[in-house]
């Protein structure tokens, strides 16, 4: 799994190098996690999409005068041609939506996640009023923000307001909350233009119905998704109730009930026993002017047993243990400046985490690995399971449409 937090100056090249390292280990499939990616540099989005296609258009841009320009990947080299899943959320915005939309249009990747992405499909610029108002009259007259461009997918529809709708939608509380571009004031509407010419790869559609059935069966039997369903019902009830109690005792009772529910869930998860995954951290190191990727593998700690130890320690020093929220949190940032990439590879009992740190020092001290996301991240775990299903159904090879494949090889 490659976790890309933003499209910074060399993100495309960093992801390419990580893919090459993963291929050395015989990777069967890749999940590209863009859930917390709020965007960044447009050229890096085009470069990243180009890692998975031979060449062709990636996004269309229309300016305020109505002129349309298509940005192409012109590099025929493909960094990775195997099974690919892109994980998105309502926090995936701008450049993230360009990548997800393009690879969905090509039929190159399965898009998995929230009901839709953020819906940020426009470009703004600031115009300083000091060019029109003398500074001796007003010291700082401020600036005006103008929308000057709009993004369109190669299929012709815009990512503005509507975002990208995943091929497989996972239950999430965010799906039932008013978040995203569509709920902002004075939002620009979505529209469409003429589609670009591109070669559809038909690598997803032959298997999509089967993948949807398998993920639904798995979620119905997953206790963690039952917890999510309970949270969704609670949010719906809160949205329907337009009143707020002023009774302090009643409010405290509600809060106590919620905290108790969290404690029950954590206790249930601890009963599942320690997890067998090992974590491999692929860390960039720079030594004597040469960059290399170093692999460090160790047994991963069990997250819930770790929580129990932390709470016991707090009790020893007289602190009240705070119940831990069981949902992963992420914040979308409009412009990401951190140049790091994390990865957890779905290899059965092993998980791999990658972190790109070209400027890291050369200290060889033992690295304390974080708890791998797959152990706590319910949606990532399901995305990896979907990827596993896809690898099995497709045989891990380049796919063609049902009409082009022999009858005995078609997905049942």
Residue 383, pLDDT above cutoff 60 = yes
How do strand 278-287 and strand 290-299 relate by DSSP bridges? Answer: antiparallel
C-alpha gyration radius of the chain = 24
Phi, psi of 165 (to 5 degrees): -90, 120
Determine the average pLDDT of the residues in 75-83: 95
Report the pLDDT value the prediction gives residue 266, as an integer from 0 to 100: 87
Q: How far apart are CA 183 and CA 185, in angstroms?
A: 7
Q: Which of 3, 28, 73, 105 is catalytic?
A: 105
Report the pLDDT value the prediction gives residue 401, as an integer from 0 to 100: 37
Which residue segments constitute the domains of the chain, with CATH numbers given? 2-238+274-404 (3.90.226.10)
Report the pLDDT value the prediction gives residue 288, as an integer from 0 to 100: 74
Determine the average pLDDT of the residues in 219-228: 95
Among the ranges given (116-125, 136-145, 244-253), the one the predictor scored with the smallest mean pLDDT: 136-145
What CA–CA distances, in Å, run from 236 to 56, 175, 181? 44, 11, 21
Among the ranges given (20-24, 37-41, 214-218, 365-369), the one the predictor scored with the smallest mean pLDDT: 365-369
Helix, coil or strand: residue 62 = strand
Report the pLDDT value the prediction gives residue 260, as an integer from 0 to 100: 94
Among the ranges given (17-21, 39-43, 320-324), the one the predictor scored with the smallest mean pLDDT: 320-324
Q: How far apart are CA 290 and CA 123, in angstroms?
A: 38
Helix, coil or strand: residue 140 = coil
At 316, the pLDDT band (50, 70, 90 cuts) reads low
Q: Decide: pTM greater than 0.85.
A: no
* Tens of pLDDT, residues 277-312: 555 666 666 667 777 776 666 555 555 555 555 555
Active site residue 105: yes
Q: Which tokens go with 243?
A: 């009143």
Determine the average pLDDT of the residues in 59-82: 96
**CB-CB contact of 156 with 115 (8 Å):** no
Q: Which of 94, 158, 190, 394 is catalytic?
A: 94
Phi, psi of 170 (to 5 degrees): -100, 145
What's the whole-number average pLDDT of the chain?
80
**CB-CB contact of 275 with 348 (8 Å):** no
What percent of the chain is modeled with pLDDT above 90?
57
Q: Which tokens go with 182?
A: 């569509």
Among the ranges given (114-123, 134-143, 307-316, 318-327), the one the predictor scored with the smallest mean pLDDT: 318-327
Q: Which tokens go with 405?
A: 């494949």
Q: Which of 90, 120, 352, 355 is catalytic?
A: 120
Closest among 261, 263, 222 to 386, alpha carbons compared: 222
Report the pLDDT value the prediction gives residue 270, as an integer from 0 to 100: 82
Report the pLDDT value the prediction gives residue 1, as an integer from 0 to 100: 83
Q: How far apart are CA 393 and CA 395, in angstroms?
A: 6
């Amino acid at each position: 799994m490659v976790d890309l937090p933003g499209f910074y100056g060399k993100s495309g090249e960093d992801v390419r190098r990580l893919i090459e390292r993963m291929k050395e280990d015989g990777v069967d499939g890749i999940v590209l996690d863009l859930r917390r990616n709020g965007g960044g540099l447009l050229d890096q989005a085009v470069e990243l999409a180009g890692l998975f296609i031979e060449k062709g258009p990636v996004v269309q841009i229309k300016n305020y005068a109505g002129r349309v320009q298509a940005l192409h990947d012109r590099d025929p080299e493909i960094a990775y041609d195997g099974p690919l899943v892109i994980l998105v959320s309502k926090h995936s915005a701008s450049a993230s939506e360009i990548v997800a939309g393009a690879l969905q249009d090509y039929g190159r990747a399965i898009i998995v996640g929230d009901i839709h992405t953020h819906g940020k499909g426009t470009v703004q610029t600031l115009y300083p009023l000091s060019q029109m108002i003398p500074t001796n009259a007003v010291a700082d007259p401020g600036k005006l923000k103008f929308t000057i461009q709009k993004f369109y997918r190669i299929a012709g529809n815009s990512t503005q307001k509507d975002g990208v709708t995943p091929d497989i939608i996972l239950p999430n509380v965010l799906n039932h909350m008013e978040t995203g571009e569509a709920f902002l004031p004075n939002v620009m509407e979505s529209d469409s233009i003429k589609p670009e010419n591109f070669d559809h790869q038909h690598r997803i559609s032959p298997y999509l119905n089967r993948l949807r059935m398998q993920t639904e069966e798995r979620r119905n039997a997953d206790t963690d998704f039952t917890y999510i369903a309970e949270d969704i019902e609670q949010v719906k009830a809160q949205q329907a109730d337009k009143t707020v109690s002023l009774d302090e005792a009643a409010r405290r009772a509600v809060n106590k009930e919620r905290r108790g529910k969290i404690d029950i869930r954590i206790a249930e998860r601890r009963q599942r026993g320690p997890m067998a995954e090992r974590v491999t951290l692929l860390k960039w190191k720079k030594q004597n002017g040469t960059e290399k990727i170093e692999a460090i593998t160790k047994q991963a700690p069990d997250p819930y047993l770790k929580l129990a130890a932390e709470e016991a320690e707090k009790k020893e020093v007289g602190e009240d243990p705070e119940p831990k929220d069981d949902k992963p949190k992420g914040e979308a940032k409009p412009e990401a400046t951190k140049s790091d990439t994390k990865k957890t590879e779905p290899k059965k009992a092993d998980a791999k985490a990658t972190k790109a740190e070209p400027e890291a020092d050369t200290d060889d001290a033992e690295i304390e690995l974080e708890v791998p996301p797959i152990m706590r991240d319910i949606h990532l775990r399901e995305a990896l399971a979907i990827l596993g299903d896809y690898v099995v159904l497709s045989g891990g090879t380049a796919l063609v449409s049902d009409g082009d494949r022999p009858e005995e090889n078609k997905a049942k």
